[in-house]
């Protein structure tokens, strides 16, 4: 059973990650549409998050370098969080209407800092959690991140609506500073598991290559590229769709940033609690199907069926199911990470996932502009269902050779 200390530390770390990322991924698209940016331009802002797709390039640095005296993972996390606080303070001084490119640059830097911090934070989580704790641990990870996204995405829209840009970002910076205290006070145990040649520069590239050489990695990478791609295709255009539907900024902030992310928070908690009982593989299939079916509900609203009130129901169900699917996916990713190279192995998988979702998200604006929102949401559901089918194929292939899922097999049995 996870200790209260582990729960509070993981929660604070992932809330801190969600704060700035919540604004740049959730609030910024709404504000850009409010300032009459085109759908194509809004869709292309997804490319700013490509740092999450390429963070595997520098992830071996996190495995190779760190201070056992200060904390091997902590020596990365604390400085990066302080850099993010400073960036948010600087952003509060900028007028977004007069300097849109500066805001875009700030968004890129925020994603770069957050992506690097994520490498160290995920590695710390893998180091801390036993295999039995990974279900609830990933539930806490997603729940904490959702809380950060609520504050950074939904609440910031409401604060912006009443007090303006500067006040919203000062609030975010203070919240992030407060969220940095638990990790700053954490006494991280010395890192004992480490290969003898980890600090050899020639070992740097092979750490990444070894991640790709693991059993069934080819099919697993295809799963990572498709399992959440449908979610990305639809969710990027959800905010512009709501603006075009006639909802006010405060209404969108309430629907997505409060109701939607609260439902996502509940889904993360439920997913973490039931994962071990349902089973790793069965959870990937059932939760993935639930998520994509709920994503398809947006097509009904785009087609003019139902009132605006139904949108609140659709949003809540989609965010709840999305968190369930994420808990199952992230637990699989942890299981496929070697203890001696947890930062690299997990990041290679996370980067693959981020690359696919960002590229798909970047095309969503062009697709919505050409075929409309209804077809877009239908295609997003179909793409996600294809990801579930590919996972089922991978599981079948693994069962034929008798190997099962290569890491920690007894925790991945259905």
CATH number (domain holding residue 256): 1.20.1250.20
The structure tokens listed for 13 are: 């770390």
In a domain, 197, yes or no: no
In a domain, 49, yes or no: yes
In a domain, 351, yes or no: yes
The structure tokens listed for 55 are: 């963070």
Q: At what angle do helices 100-128 and 4-22 cross, to 10 degrees?
A: 160
pLDDT at 86: 93
pLDDT at 280: 86
- List Cβ neighbours of 277 (8 Å cut-off, separation of 6 or more): none
Q: What is the pLDDT along the chain (414 residues), one digit of tens a residue?
A: 567 888 889 999 988 888 877 777 777 777 677 667 777 777 777 777 778 778 888 888 888 888 888 889 999 999 999 999 999 899 888 876 677 678 778 878 888 898 899 899 999 998 888 888 888 888 888 888 878 877 877 777 778 778 877 888 888 888 889 988 999 988 888 876 554 344 554 465 677 777 777 777 888 889 999 999 888 888 888 888 888 888 877 788 788 767 887 898 889 889 988 998 888 889 999 999 999 998 889 898 888 887 778 888 999 999 999 999 999 999 989 888 887 788 888 888 888 888 888 788 888 888 888 899 999 999 999 998 999 999 998 888 877 765 444 444 443 444
In a domain, 128, yes or no: yes
* DSSP 8-state class, residue 164: -
Instruction: In whole angstroms, give the CA distance from residue 229 to residue 387.
Output: 8
99, 159, 232, 209 alpha-carbon torsion, rounded to 10°: 70
The structure tokens listed for 133 are: 């704790």
Instruction: In whole angstroms, give the CA distance from residue 154 to residue 344.
Output: 33
The structure tokens listed for 199 are: 């600090």
Q: Which domain holds residue 395?
A: 4-188+202-411
Instruction: In whole angstroms, give the CA distance from residue 166 to residue 172.
Output: 10
In a domain, 195, yes or no: no
Q: Is the distance from CB of 180 to CB of 79 less than 8 angstroms?
A: no
In a domain, 193, yes or no: no
308, 236, 177, 115 alpha-carbon torsion, rounded to 10°: 160
pLDDT at 403: 47
The b-or-e profile of 49-79 (16+ CB within 10 A means b, else e) is: bbbbbebbebbbbbbbebeeeebbbbbbbbe
Q: How many domains does the chain have?
A: 1
Length of the chain: 414
pLDDT at 329: 94
**Which 3 state secondary structure label does DSSP give 244?**
helix
Instruction: In whole angstroms, give the CA distance from residue 204 to residue 259.
Output: 44
The structure tokens listed for 348 are: 């290679």
């Amino acid at each position: 059973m996870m200790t209260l200390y582990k729960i509070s530390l993981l929660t604070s770390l992932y809330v801190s990650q969600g704060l700035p990322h919540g604004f740049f991924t959730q609030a910024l698209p709404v504000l850009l549409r409010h300032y009459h940016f085109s759908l194509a331009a809004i869709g292309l802002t997804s490319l700013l998050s490509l740092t999450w797709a390429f963070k595997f390039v520098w992830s071996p640095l996190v495995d190779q370098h760190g201070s056992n005296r200060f904390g091997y993972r902590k020596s990365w996390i604390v400085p990066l969080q302080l850099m993010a606080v400073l960036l948010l303070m600087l952003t509060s001084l900028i007028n977004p209407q007069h300097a849109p490119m500066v805001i875009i640059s700030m968004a890129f830097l925020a994603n770069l800092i957050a992506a690097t911090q994520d490498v160290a934070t995920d590695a710390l989580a893998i180091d801390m959690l036993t295999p039995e704790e990974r279900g609830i641990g990933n539930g806490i990870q997603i729940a904490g991140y959702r809380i950060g996204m609520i504050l950074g995405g939904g609440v910031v829209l409401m604060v912006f609506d009443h007090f303006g840009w500067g006040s919203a970002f000062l609030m975010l910076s203070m919240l992030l500073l407060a969220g940095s205290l638990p990790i700053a006070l954490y006494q991280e145990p010395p890192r004992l598991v480490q290969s003898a040649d980890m600090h050899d520069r020639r070992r740097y590239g092979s750490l990444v290559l070894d991640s790709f050489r693991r059993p069934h990695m080819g099919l697993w990478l295809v799963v990572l590229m498709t399992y959440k791609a449908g979610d990305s295709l639809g969710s990027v255009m959800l905010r512009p769709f709501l603006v075009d539907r006639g909802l006010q900024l405060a209404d969108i902030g309430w629907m997505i940033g409060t109701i939607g992310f609260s439902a996502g928070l509940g889904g993360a908690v439920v997913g973490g609690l039931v994962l071990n009982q349902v089973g790793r593989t069965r959870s990937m299939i059932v939760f993935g199907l639930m998520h994509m079916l709920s994503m398809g509900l947006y097509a009904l609203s785009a087609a003019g069926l139902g009132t605006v009130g139904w949108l609140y129901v659709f949003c809540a169900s989609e965010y709840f199911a999305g968190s369930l699917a994420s808990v199952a996916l992230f637990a699989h990713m942890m299981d496929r990470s070697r203890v001696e190279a947890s930062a690299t192995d997990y990041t290679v998988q996370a980067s693959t996932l981020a690359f696919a979702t960002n590229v798909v998200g970047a095309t969503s604006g062009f697709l919505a502009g050409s075929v409309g929102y209804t077809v877009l949401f239908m295609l997003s559901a179909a793409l996600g269902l294809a990801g579930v089918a590919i996972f089922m194929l991978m599981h079948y292939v693994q069962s034929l050779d008798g190997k099962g899922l290569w890491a920690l097999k007894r925790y991945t049995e259905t």
